[in-house]
Structure 1
Amino acid sequence: MPLREIAYSRSGDKGDTANIGVVPFDETDYELIKEQVTIEKVRELFGELVKGSITRYEFEGIKAINFVMENALSGGVSRSLNLDTHGKSWSNLILRLEVEVP
């Protein structure tokens, strides 16, 4: 099923860096998300949109993960000709990832 069935996300930017947080609706799905929403799957999903590194942070206390994507917004707000210079739509894109739920 798509990740959007068990989680929500938020995204933002700082210069040419995109930031996407993923939070399960139910905390019991946190381990499943940690296991299946990997850097490799995110890189595959975002493809050429992310030209730099992707770092994943895990927040055990609030049961959330966060991806920081470098060199991802074509230079950032004041430089990019992209329609989504802040990367706000990226939170919807990550929710397209398929996860296996028992």
Structure 2
Amino acid sequence: MAENDRADSNRIVRVPLHEVAHGRTGDKGNRVNISVIPYHDEAWPLLLEQVTPERVKAWFAAKGAGTVTRYELPSMPAMNFVIDDVLQGGVNGALNLDGHGKSLAFHLLTMPVEVPARLALHPEKATG
């Protein structure tokens, strides 16, 4: 690898989380759980620093998110967020179009994170 290529791959880029990880969503009542699984194990510690329960709660504030608990699964590596009160009553009580919260994983995956360019799927599209 040429020196310029190495330097470029270490350049810190600001990208949406979906450029670094994928996710899944599940629901139970008025609670949703969202998994975040990095594409590269090397991204795991960076995501732990940036995708915190506090930041996730703020990200979902407009949907009325209550308590946010993060469960870490370092052997995978992955993390699972359990977010209370974000489904506006759940599938039987909400008037929103996504009572199961299936779109909420992608909403979380739009959160910006900063990572080395080599860990992003499309670093050339990065901002900042």
- 1:15 aligns to 2:29 (yes or no): yes
Runs of 4 or more consecutive aligned structure 1 residues displaced over 4 Å after TM superposition? none
Identity of aligned residues (%): 46
Q: How does 1:67-82 map to 2 (within 5 A)?
A: 67-82=81-96
Aligned residues: CA RMSD: 1.0
TM score, norm. by length of structure 1: 0.94
Encode CA deviations 1:25-61: one digit per residue, 9 max, x unaligned.
1111111111110112111211131342111110011
Is contact 1:14–1:76 with CA below 8 Å preserved after alignment?
Answer: yes
TM-score scaled by length of structure 2:
0.76
Distance in 2 (CA, whole Å) between partners of 1:9 and 1:56 is 14
Unpaired runs of at least 5, structure 1: none
Pairs aligned (count): 102
Q: Distance in 1 between matches of 2:115 and 2:78?
A: 17
Max radius of gyration: which structure? Answer: 2
* 8 A contact 2:57–2:66 mirrored in 1: no
Deviations 1:51-72 (A, max 9, x none): 4211111001110011101111
Q: Where in structure 2 are the equivalents of 1:26-65 lying within 5 Å?
A: 26-65=40-79
CA contact (8 A) 2:54 2:68 kept: no
Deviation, 1:82, is 0.8
